[in-house]
Amino acid sequence: MTYNIITIGCQMNRADSERLSFYLEKLGFLLEPNFSKADLVVIVSCGVKQSAEDRVYGLAHRIMKGNKKAIIALTGCLSDREDVKSRLAGNAKIFFNISDLMNLDKSLKKYFPKIKKIFKQDFKNYLEISPNRFSSFSALVPIGNGCNNFCSYCVVPYARGREIYRPAKDIISEIEALVKVGYKEINLIAQNVNSYKSGKLDFPTLLKKIDKIPGNFWLRFSTSHPKDVSPGLIKVLKENKKICEHFHLAVQSGDDKILQAMNRKYKINDYINTVRSIRKSLDYKNGLPAAITTDIIVGFPGEGKSNFNNTKNLFRKVKFDLAYISKYSPRFGTASFELKDDINLEEKKRREAELNILLRKYALENNNKYLDKELDVLIEGVDKKGNLFGRTRTSKIVRIKKASGKRLKEKMLGRKKVCIENNCADRKLIGEFVKVKINQVKEFELEGELIKSRPQVLVILGPTASGKTALAVKLAHDFNGEIVSADSRQVYRGMDVGTGKDLAGYSYKGKDIPYHLIDVCSPKNVFSLAKYQKMAFSAIDNIISKGKLPILVGGSGLYLEAVIDNYILSAVKPIFGQRDEYENLSLEQLHSRIKKINPKFFKGLNNSERNNKRRLARFLEVLLSENDFSPKKGEPRYDFLIFGLSPDREVLRERIYKRLIKRLEEEDMIGEVERLKKSGVSYKRLESFGLEYRFIAYYLQKKITYQQLIDKLFIAICQFSKKQMSWFRRSQKQGMDIVWVEGVEEVKNSLESL
């Protein structure tokens, strides 16, 4: 069973599509990108304009013409209209309101008998369903659904019902989770976000709470109704740094008489004063002028020339950065549908053109303020010409044009390098914040060039038992730092003694040192290298945003290299059962399979990789999906200062033995493994973690004696420490600049000399 979703209209429809996608996949459907080949096609409709409605009819016809067996389902603003159902009766089979998404399986069962209901909990609101995020860096977070305003031209209150808002704790938890895994932009959405209520908590208070969430991210919201922009909201805009300097405030008309006919509940002077207050709060809060955007309807019934001239005057007074101008079309079921549509289409087009002339004039005037400025830009993608593009905090589109010429050139601007190479369109930057110098402006976009400037990260690496964490804690205390773990096993909850977490040790001279990437995953789940890399980058960016020093600490060579060398990793997701199957193969079987798929890739593996079953299993997993896959290094995101600890081998062996006996006899390491087993972690899974967990699992299964446990585990840990050092020496030969030190003073001297 396959599905495809076609989304028309607003951000809320996009967010609904993300939840719909998750729901369908849980029912057993697989995504088919081509709607002409999908078994189920869901159209998320928009009823705001006649053109959007007409598009639905055209799409339904095209789908059935190319795929007669397809089942078409309609949701969105048009799904409850009887006239629409009648017109689509020959094509669409299912009509459902998005608020009833939880029961869609009942309608689908008729056409897809193999589906099964998978949700055990009962949802009070469809917004409780998890979304399949369509973006990996910019998240739409609905805070509510529906509208109570009943603007006379609008179908939303009839299509979506009255306002229902999500509990604040659910919204905040969702955003915390998004920021934790690296999302850079949070967009709060609802039909009227600023009328939000959760108990006694209102929208300004919600914004303040979100702004306090740790992390380097931007906060946006839409859409706002002018009548609900409170003094409290204006104050929050000024005081909270993560809220972007862009405010979308739909006005619809510049004339009081027309606003009254539209049932907008404010007057133009109120709107102008609100815009002034917003600009006063947002202007140059982060060095940028506030951007004000709006929605306009031309040709509303009764809009004479004088009424339209008032709208033109509003454009002159406010000087909008952008306006979405629509020609009025009667919408079935609304109050204005009963009014005579007395402005002909040609006149509506003429008025639209007049407003666009004014809009272009003032948009260019506003954009000229950005010329020669250095701006933070969130990169969103690559255009058809191969140029990177993204947005500023003020929602200005920025295009980073590729320069001509074949050779890389750089020019110095103070202490910063400006990239003007011919290959600036680097896809690795999609979803990242970059600095751009603006060198050209147009009415609705800016153009510029990348500024290369990398923050600094301290790295402490070394073999097990070398004292990395203790050194890092002291340095974090002295240099205002936070620690990011690079240990492939400390990410798992409940694996404390065997991995040497010693969380009590993250304190020095009475001060607790913050740490990251510890206890972030259940040992029942697979934690991929790609996930570690993304979360590590997010943690480092978060630390940098607070003006503190990130300290990357660990002995997992691959984890360290994924961050330091910015590995371009495969998007293939781990499949837990399949991974177990591959890890049960022998080394020879794994080698044989990989060589058969990609001999060149196998030849490039080093000895450590060829003898690591977990890595080989992952390589096999990826190669089965991407035959030409090979690990590649990206451009470093940070400047790394790397220190390595390398104690004398005999000293290290003595430390390893003493630590092992202490963990077994004083810290109840065997009990820890027993507790993990009782919690549902299988012996097979425990063995896959290696070292302490493998040998204790053997002991608990009575495969070895207690003395054999000590002897074999001690040898295995010593061999592991030797492999770690081999990995680091190999990395050094391949270009990693490691400074080998014996203790804290050498590192401190090096840092203080920078």
Query: Do 478 and 444 share a structural domain?
Result: no
Please tell me the distance from the alpha carbon of residue 33 to that of residue 90, in angstroms, as a whole number: 24
How large a percentage of the chain has pLDDT more than 90?
A: 70
Sheet containing 246-248, strands listed edge to edge, beginning at the edge strand earlier in sequence = 246-248, 291-298, 322-327
- Residue 338 maps to which CATH number? 3.80.30.20
Once rounded to an integer, what is the mean pLDDT over residues 9-13?
92
Does 719 score more than 60 pLDDT? yes
Across residues 701-717, what is the average pLDDT? 96
- Which tops the pLDDT comparison, 426 or 131? 131
Q: What is the tally of structural domains in the chain?
A: 5
pLDDT tens-digit series, residues 65-79: 988 899 999 999 999
Q: What is the CATH number of the domain that holds 383?
A: 2.40.50
The one-character DSSP state at 243 is B
**pLDDT, mean of residues 96-106:** 91
- For residues 319 and 298, give the distance between their C-alpha atoms in angstroms, rounded to a whole number: 18
Q: Which of 741, 723, 719, 721 is nearest to 731 (CA)?
A: 723
Q: Which has more confidence, 82 or 607?
A: 82
DSSP E strands, 598-714: 632-633, 639-645
Going by pLDDT thresholds of 50, 70 and 90, the confidence category of residue 49 is: confident
Q: Which residue has the higher pLDDT, 119 or 666?
A: 666
Mean pLDDT of 686-702: 94
pLDDT digits (tens, 9 = 90+) for 304-356: 999 999 999 999 999 999 999 999 999 998 999 999 999 999 999 999 999 99
Q: What are phi and psi of 323, to 5 degrees?
A: -140, 135
Q: Give the mean pLDDT of 659-671.
A: 96
Secondary structure E strands in 340-415: 374-382, 388-391, 397-400, 410-413
Residues 165 and 84 in one domain: no
Q: What is the mean pLDDT of the chain?
A: 89
How far apart are alpha carbons 233 and 280 in whole angstroms?
A: 13
Q: What is the pLDDT of residue 751?
A: 65
- Strands 446-452 vs 397-400: parallel, antiparallel or unpaired: parallel
Is the pLDDT at 279 greater than 50? The verdict is: yes
Among the three residues 295, 327, 362, which one is the final residue of a domain in this structure?
362
Predicted local distance difference test score (pLDDT) of residue 414: 31
User: Across the chain, which distance is largest between two alpha carbons, in Å?
Assistant: 96
Give the CB-side neighbour count of residue 182, counting CA atoms within 13 A: 19
Q: Which of 468, 500, 392 is nearest to 437 (CA)?
A: 392
Together in a domain, 173 and 214: yes
Residues in the chain: 754
C-alpha distances out from residue 123 to 134, 142, 166, 171, Å:
22, 16, 12, 16
Q: Which residues of 77-111 are buried (b: 16+ CB within 10 A; e: fewer)?
A: bbbbbeebeebbeebbbbbbbbbebbebbebbeee
pLDDT in tens, 496-537: 999 999 888 899 999 999 999 999 999 999 888 889 999 999
CB atoms within 10 A of CB 179: 20
The boundaries of the domain holding residue 88 are: 2-126
What is the Rg, in whole angstroms, of the alpha carbon atoms belonging to the chain? Answer: 30
Instruction: Examine the domain organization and report whether 478 and 613 are in the same domain.
Output: no
Residues 531 and 394 grouped into a single domain: no
Whether residues 40 and 151 fall in one domain: no
- Which of 231-245, 447-461, 618-632 is the most confident on average? 231-245
pLDDT on residue 409 = 32
Do 663 and 497 contact (CB within 8 A), yes or no?
yes
| 138 sits in which H/E element | strand 138-142
The answer to whether 514 and 482 are in contact (CB under 8 A) is: yes
| Spatial strand order in the sheet of 218-222 | 138-142, 185-189, 218-222
Percent of the chain with pLDDT over 70: 91
Last residue of a domain, one of 362, 391, 415: 362
Peptide bond into 7 cis (omega under 30): no
Residue 38 pairs with which residues in a beta bridge? none
Local structure of residue 123 (DSSP, 8 states): P
pTM of the model: 0.64
Q: How confident is the model at residue 614 (pLDDT cuts 50, 70, 90)?
A: confident
Q: Please tell me the distance from the alpha carbon of residue 283 to that of residue 731, in angstroms, as a whole number.
A: 49
Phi, psi values for residue 425, rounded to 5°: -75, 75
Q: Are 656 and 718 in contact, with CB atoms under 8 Å apart?
A: yes
So what's the pLDDT on residue 752?
56
End-to-end CA distance of the chain: 60
CATH code: domain of residue 459:
3.40.50.300
Residues 544, 493 within the same domain: yes
**Distance (Å, rounded) from C-alpha 719 to C-alpha 263?**
77
Rounded Cα gap, residues 246 and 289, in angstroms: 9
- For the segment 718-745, the average pLDDT, to the nearest whole number, is 88
- The CATH number that applies at residue 85 is 3.40.50.2300
Based on the domain organization, do 461 and 323 belong to the same domain? no
Question: Which residues face 508 on adjacent strands?
Answer: 511
119 and 156 in one domain? no
Q: Where are the beta strands (DSSP E) in 143-280?
A: 144-145, 164-165, 185-189, 197-198, 201-202, 218-222, 246-248
Is residue 676 located within the same domain as residue 731?
Answer: yes
Give the domain-ending residue among 72, 96, 126.
126
- Contact at 8 Å (CB) between 184 and 391? no
pLDDT of residue 422: 34
Does 620 have pLDDT greater than 60? yes
Beta bridge mates, 441: 446
Q: In which band, very low, low, confident or very high, does the pLDDT at 576 lie, cut at 50, 70 and 90?
A: low
Model confidence at 142, pLDDT cuts 50, 70, 90, reads very high
Q: Amino acid letter at 744?
A: V
- Paired tokens of 658: 């003493």
Judged by average pLDDT, the poorest of 25-39, 46-60, 223-237, 568-582 is 568-582
Q: Looking at the predicted structure, is the pLDDT value of residue 116 above 80?
A: no
Element (DSSP H or E) covering residue 166:
none
Supply the DSSP string of 678-711, one letter for each residue: HTT--HHHHHHT-HHHHHHHHHHTTSS-HHHHHH
Confidence bin at 451 (pLDDT 50/70/90): confident
Distance CA 749, CA 754 (A): 9
Cβ atoms within 10 Å, residue 235: 14
CA atoms of 287 and 301, how far apart (whole Å)? 42
Judgement on whether residues 111 and 222 belong to the same structural domain of the protein: no
Please check whether residues 376 and 522 belong to one and the same domain: no
Backbone angles phi, psi at 106, to 5 degrees: -65, -40
Contact 74, 36 (CB under 8 A): no
